[in-house]
Structure 1
Amino acid sequence: MVMKSFLLVALITSNLTLVFSQNRVPVFRQDVPLDSIRLSDPFILADKATSTYYMTGTGGMMWKSKDLKKWAGPSVVVKTDPESWMGKNPMIWAAELHQYQGKYYYFATFTNREVKIDTVGENVIERRACHVLVSDRAEGPYVPMKDPEYLPANKPTLDGTLWVDKDGKPYMVYCYEWLQNMNGTIEKIELKPDLSGTIGEGKLLFRASDSPWSREKSNGKIGPNKVTDGPYVFHTGTGRLGMLWTSWIYDVYTQGVAYSKSGTLDGPWIQENEPITPPNYGHGMLFRTLNGTWLMSVHSHKKSNGRTVRVPHLIEVDLSGDKLIVGKPFTH
């Protein structure tokens, strides 16, 4: 029953993403309030060079704002290669924007539904992987770089993010999806200095089953959930290394946090006992506003006309101490 429930969630997500594929011509709108936007996995870059906030997420689109109150968009900012492994019309999930060494990078998950890489039980697994695109401007367009692949073609990976560790090297932190390994993981892989490809192989950081707060019921037994989703790495004000990540408590999307004992990506990662956000909020990231305030961007789920929609939200956070403290909703 639990397996079927998660397959249903995956199917709904896939269908929604098809609606927001990069080949769809969006209707551009101005002065749109944040809570009127429908967007999964919202990620916000506060770009000092243009004094503009750029928001991406699932679907390959971009929204822009000067004040975080009213947004303009969506616009298409991705140009993939139809001859690459992604195919002619890939689904795009959980896109992130990172400014690094004078350029802007687009970390995202691409899915080619025409290619099946594995079948595990009832799970037919499509070709899905994290990839990095580049642009000279925050608003794109973003195009692929040299390496045709970043992660193994026979593994479904998702939700890649960027982190420069204490060794000064850039890494992609990503999820190896539970659909194949049945116990989702969060892993790291070293990136080339210009982020144009990867070096070596991925390394396990922690498993979904390490979580003390996630839950699912399978064959009448309650245990840890299988899902790892949306890793985001950060430093607290005291320099402590933390990671946001999301799973489920039964059918409720929920976000937790872990802290690295060593202060590096290698961990060990110690999971907090309780979720860090209220129920039904997840896939969070942190950013500093142009005025210096720290905020968390997340999305929630709600039903609308019989469909599940995702709504982005901003929440105040306190990073000054040894732990991330989540505050009240941001009201500008």
Structure 2
Amino acid sequence: MRSVGLLMTGCLFLLFRLNAQPIGVSQIRKNVPLDSIRLSDPFILADKKTNSYYMTGTGGMLWKSPDLKLWEGPYLVAQTDPNSWMGPKPMIWAAELHSFNNKYYYFATFTNRAVKIDTVGKNVIERRASHVLVSDKPDGPYVPMLDATYLPAAKPTLDGTFWVDKDGKPYMVYCYEWLQNNNGTIEKIELKPDLSGSLGPGKLLFRASDSPWSREKDSTGHDRPNKVTDGPFLFLTKTGRLGMLWTSWIYDIYTQGVAYSKSGTLDGPWIQEQEPISPPNFGHGMLFRRLDGKLLMAVHSHKSEKGRTVRIPHLFEADLSGDKLIVGKQYVP
């Protein structure tokens, strides 16, 4: 999910109600190549139980594929409660699917545009937070659990992802948005054992300004670190090193970097790599293993065409066999 001030332009956000009905059969597309799908923040679950791939992202839709080559969709899978803080028509951003303890969990960011929680400068901040839904099947439907909220109502949070740390406890790792704090952060919060809610307060992992590679100009034209944190995703190398993909900007270029935890746990300290990990204008990445075990990275490309922002899912080869993540050439299924 992209930060509002920089990234909403050109996006079409799809809205859902409780007990949302599936898209009509005539609207489901079949045999669609990956590069023909327009989708921000792609996340792919390779599910061995069904021997299939499931792709989500911003918009709350789901695509299915047996082989990563051709896809079927989009399907409505998120069913939210209109009486919750999300309201009847929440935006759904950066959805992820995680298999855990024989259930499937839908980590996503929900925005209720009817509720304003703050105004900072010229930025009016809407009620927005990362949240978790649950299903017995990878293709849903995904429904609410017990807790009404996972993160503080007064803070705009986004791009929640899932990680079980060395202490054996589950966590959500998420961004606290720069629109309010003016220096975006990545934080963690402990989850209940069944992921039905959160426990205790969140904890800071690092700030956008810690990055040596992300840059922007201030109002006087002077160079400074970019303020955006976006799209965290955790991984382990073969040597047991804990890393995190995350995305920001180099001026007007969408860019993805990597940080590594010195302690091997979420508590860090997090050491930022000096250079980006992906080519320019690719970001919000995640790693998954193909059903045959080959490691791939899913990202979206980010470009402007005739005044519209176009985002397309792409795959790259990746390697975690050493002490750090190596991203290879683009992968064509």
| Short-chain TM bin | over 0.9
CA distance in 1, matches of 2:127, 2:94: 16
CA distance in 2, matches of 1:8, 1:93: 15
Cα deviation, 1:285-305, whole Å, max 9, x if unaligned, reads: 000000100000000113345
Contact 1:22-1:59 at 8 Å conserved across structures: no
Q: Could you list the runs of 5+ residues in structure 2 that have no partner in the other structure?
A: none
What percentage of residue pairs aligned between the two structures are identical? 74
Code of the aligned partner of 1:293: K
Match of 1:299? 300
Match of 1:257? 258
Match of 1:57? 57
Match of 1:318? 319
Structure 1 position 7, deviation (Å): 6.1
Contact 2:297-2:318 at 8 Å conserved across structures: yes
Distance 1:7 1:87, change over 3 A: closer
CA distance in 1, matches of 2:203, 2:5: 30
Cα deviation, 1:29-69, whole Å, max 9, x if unaligned, reads: 00000000000000000000000000000011000000000
1:128 matched to 2:125 = no
Structure 1 position 309, deviation (Å): 1.3
CA distance in 2, matches of 1:235, 1:134: 25
Distance 1:298 1:174, change over 3 A: same
* DSSP 3-state at the match of 1:39: coil
Q: Tell me how large the CA RMSD over aligned residues is.
A: 1.3
Cα deviation, 1:164-198, whole Å, max 9, x if unaligned, reads: 00000000000000000000000000000000000
Structure 1 position 9, deviation (Å): 2.6
Match of 2:6? 9
* DSSP 3-state at the match of 1:12: coil
Match of 2:108? 108
Code of the aligned partner of 1:86: M
Match of 2:83? 83
Contact 1:285-1:296 at 8 Å conserved across structures: yes
1:288 matched to 2:289 = yes
1:200-279 matches, within 5 Å, as 200-218=200-218, 219-279=220-280
* DSSP 3-state at the match of 2:180: helix
Contact 2:52-2:65 at 8 Å conserved across structures: yes
Q: Could you list the runs of 5+ residues in structure 1 that have no partner in the other structure?
A: 1-5
Distance 1:328 1:116, change over 3 A: same
Match of 1:46? 46
Cα deviation, 1:78-104, whole Å, max 9, x if unaligned, reads: 100000000011000000000000100
Structure 1 position 72, deviation (Å): 0.2
CA distance in 1, matches of 2:5, 2:167: 41
* DSSP 3-state at the match of 1:109: strand
1:22 matched to 2:16 = yes
Contact 1:173-1:189 at 8 Å conserved across structures: yes
Structure 1 position 8, deviation (Å): 5.2
Structure 1 position 21, deviation (Å): 2.4
TM-score between the two structures when normalised by the length of structure 2: 0.95
Aligned residues: 324
CA distance in 2, matches of 1:236, 1:276: 15
TM-score between the two structures when normalised by the length of structure 1: 0.95
1:106-185 matches, within 5 Å, as 106-185=106-185
CA distance in 2, matches of 1:70, 1:158: 30
Match of 1:3? none
CA distance in 2, matches of 1:104, 1:157: 22
CA distance in 2, matches of 1:7, 1:42: 18
Contact 1:17-1:91 at 8 Å conserved across structures: no
Cα deviation, 1:103-124, whole Å, max 9, x if unaligned, reads: 0000000000000000000110
Contact 1:244-1:255 at 8 Å conserved across structures: yes
Contact 1:17-1:93 at 8 Å conserved across structures: no
CA distance in 2, matches of 1:7, 1:242: 26
Match of 1:329? 330
Code of the aligned partner of 2:64: K
Distance 1:306 1:10, change over 3 A: closer
Structure 1 position 22, deviation (Å): 3.0
CA distance in 2, matches of 1:39, 1:112: 21
